[in-house]
Chain A
Amino acid sequence: MDFLLSEREELLRKSVREFAEAEIPPKIEAMEKTGEFPIELLEPMARLGITGIIAPPEYGGVGLGYLARTIALEELGRVCAAIPMAMQVHHMAIAALNDFGTDEQKQKYIPPLAKGDTMGVVAVTEPSGGSDVVGMQATAELKGDKWILNGRKCFITNSHTSDFWIVMAKTAEGAKGLSAFIVEKNHPGAKTGRVEHKIGLRGSNTGELVFDNCEIPKENILGQEGGGLAVALKTVSESGRPGMAATALGIINACLEEAAKFASERVLYGKPISSLQAISFYLADIYTELDICRLLCYRASWMKDQNMRCDNENAMAKSYTCDAAVRCARKAVEIHGSYGILQEYKVQRLLRDAVVTVPAGGTGQIGKVVLARAALAPYRKKK
């Protein structure tokens, strides 16, 4: 087995790290205050190749694949997790279009995403929830040469910063009754609704989409009619979960750095607190979690790049890494003592951000449902 990253991947990490460390920190205060994505970062991120990292070169992307994407998101998340949160959802839209789009749809919609002219959105979740995909309420009905879409989507990342959205709706009852649509914000009857104010990942825009007799051209169905469940599941499983996991992985990196730095500088009883076993064991825990999560995330993304099935591995990476980010951030806050709850210290943001990664991008529990199914598969009785 070869656990070493290639020269290309190491250089990519370095490039994103340099960019993230220089360009993101000046934006964080405003992100925390306003809850808005710093849209001015989109253009430089596009120039770097982050927006189009998984998009094929023929559609204006870089085509570097999923391991490269995970490394890039991890590095962004190390500085501020809201940025990779927005980016990973953006990548989900590219993945959905690339996997299920017609050539015309790819030509029209992937280049503006890859070049950062707009942001990508995949809208599945509704007020009644997102885990029960088949139970969604939004409907689409074909009338003449238009689909008429009605319903409401909520907790949608990049809802207000995108010019078009990939939206799931029912075209018939049951699992085979879901379809995916590309809805442009200027389609009649398409509107953005309220903006949510989250406790963490504040710089990633989250809000509602409202469709009131929204008219969509017939050709804007993405994939087959009734094939929406496949679009949702493949996109969430192969792009959403690893993206969310990489975001949380970035948080764990930051937890270790902040905690180790503080523990080395803070002196109690005449020595740095890192010399106290209680503190050093916390650091050892975070250090180990970082490695576990990095291995889980990199393996799942590497498998995707090899065209291997990786839904279980991505579910494992997502559910474990996001939970681990909360554990690590909590330990990092504790190591900081009362300083950890002050807004001047980064660790409080890490904890708030980590908490938000757990339900986002397919809840940790749904990930565990997938994993339990895999664990039990050899023992399932044939009917």
Chain B
Amino acid sequence: MKRMIVCVKPVPDPKAWDRLQMDPVSKTLIREGIPSIINPLDKHAVEAALEMKDLFGAEVVLLSMAPCDAYPVLREVLAMGADRAVLLSDKAFAGSDTLATSRILAQGIRNIGEFDLIFCGNFTLDGSTAQVPSQVAEFLDIPNVMHVCDMEIPNTQSLLLTQKIEQGTVKLEAKPPLLLSFTKDANKPRYISFMEILAAEKREIQTWDNANLNIDETLIGLKGSPTQMADLLLQSKQRKGIRLTGNPEEIARQLADKIHQLGII
């Protein structure tokens, strides 16, 4: 095992979600002035990589596509124990949908060089599409396993994975190179120790723009994003009461019909 790459993303801090606004034209989130945290599921991906590193040793590289103010968040994840970080940041990347984002991340991974495993969180807190991990794997032409809720590592040649599916779990054996994306059940991310905070200050964060990645600009950013947001509507979650009238028998009948209609029983 030589290298593992973990894709991480700064997302708006849920504590500040009430201050979040959408750009009325691009229909994207306005992130300026909103504090960022590391996407919570990405911490599980980092933990999985670090557990692997603890067992077999390997370089753990963080990869993130984000604006330049992502440094503190990357520094925090570096302090979990990763070796270095690469930040992909360019105005040309702004407005990328999941396809364009995956293309950029895949190119970032190619630029980093050889790898054995790519780790991701299953989805991000802001977009919640869960589309990026498998698209990155497609671009890299490697297999991917989503919804990984447990990972056993008997040796560096193969991994025993438990994948969460709707009706239960599936046990899989998989061989590197591959991409894995993790659920919150996969592990308990380690706390950041003070020793690692100090060590992380010396770890490198490289910043690459599109001059480094050299991707055709029509394939990234808003221009390269086939997903166009048509409109956004707030979902109403208000309770609605219905007043039933009639004698008790009629009311009971109406109530039973309504329950059937709603498919409750």
Contact = CB atoms under 8 A, between A and B. Distances in A.
Contacts of A19: 191
Contacts of A62: 194-195, 198
A48 interface: yes
B140 interface: no
A49 B195 contact: yes
A48 B72 contact: no
A264 interface: no
B79 interface: yes
B22 interface: no
A48 B193 CA distance: 4
A50 B198 CA distance: 14
Contact of B194 (A7, A15, A44): A15
B191 A8 contact: no
A271 interface: no
Nearest to B194: A49
Contacts of A210: none
A64 B194 CA distance: 8
Nearest to A8: B197
Contacts of A11: 72, 75-76, 79, 192, 197
A49 B193 contact: yes
A16 to B, nearest CB: 9
Listed residue (A7, A15, A44, A47) with the most chain B CB atoms within 10 angstroms of its CB: A15
A64 B196 CA distance: 12
A151 B195 CA distance: 40
A50 B79 CA distance: 16
Interface in B173-209: 191-195, 197-198, 201
Nearest to B200: A11
Nearest to A47: B193
Contacts of A44: 191
Contacts of A10: 72
Interface string A48-72: 1110010000000010100010000
A44 B192 CA distance: 11
A301 B72 CA distance: 24
Contacts of B191: 15, 18-19, 44, 47-48
SS class of chain A's interface: helix, strand, loop or mixed? helix
Contacts of B193: 15, 47-49
Interface string A29-58: 000000000000000100111100100000
Nearest to A53: B194
Interface residues of B, number: 12
A12 interface: yes
Contacts of B194: 12, 15, 48-50, 53, 62, 64, 68
Nearest to A50: B194
Contacts of B75: 7, 11
Contacts of A68: 194
A194 interface: no
A44 to B, nearest CB: 8
Nearest to A72: B194
A7 B76 CA distance: 10
Interface string B61-104: 00000000000100110010000000000000000000000000
Nearest to A49: B194
Contacts of A50: 194
A14 interface: yes
Interface string B155-189: 00000000000000000000000000000000000
B193 to A, nearest CB: 5
A40 B86 CA distance: 38
Contacts of B201: 8
A10 B192 CA distance: 12
B82 to A, nearest CB: 14
Contacts of A14: 76, 192
A79 B254 CA distance: 51
A15 B192 CA distance: 6
Listed residue (B194, B197, B198) with the most chain A CB atoms within 10 angstroms of its CB: B194
B35 to A, nearest CB: 11
A44 B198 CA distance: 18
Contacts of B195: 49, 62
Contacts of B198: 8, 62, 64
A130 to B, nearest CB: 31
A12 B195 CA distance: 10
Given A12-B197, A15-B197, A62-B198, A7 B192 contact: no
A10 B194 CA distance: 11
Listed residue (B75, B76, B193) with the most chain A CB atoms within 10 angstroms of its CB: B193
A40 to B, nearest CB: 15
A19 B76 CA distance: 14
30 contacts: A7-B72, A8-B198, A8-B201, A11-B72, A11-B75, A11-B76, A11-B79, A11-B192, A11-B197, A12-B194, A12-B197, A14-B192, A15-B79, A15-B191, A15-B192, A15-B193, A15-B197, A18-B191, A18-B192, A19-B191, A48-B191, A48-B192, A48-B193, A48-B194, A50-B194, A62-B194, A62-B195, A62-B198, A64-B198, A68-B194
Given A18-B192, A48-B193, A53-B194, 9 more contacts: A8-B198, A11-B79, A12-B194, A12-B197, A19-B191, A47-B193, A48-B192, A48-B194, A62-B195
9 nearest A-B pairs in the assembled complex, by CB-CB distance? A49-B194, A15-B192, A62-B194, A19-B191, A49-B193, A48-B193, A11-B197, A48-B191, A49-B195
Interface of A: 7-8, 10-12, 14-15, 18-19, 44, 47-50, 53, 62, 64, 68
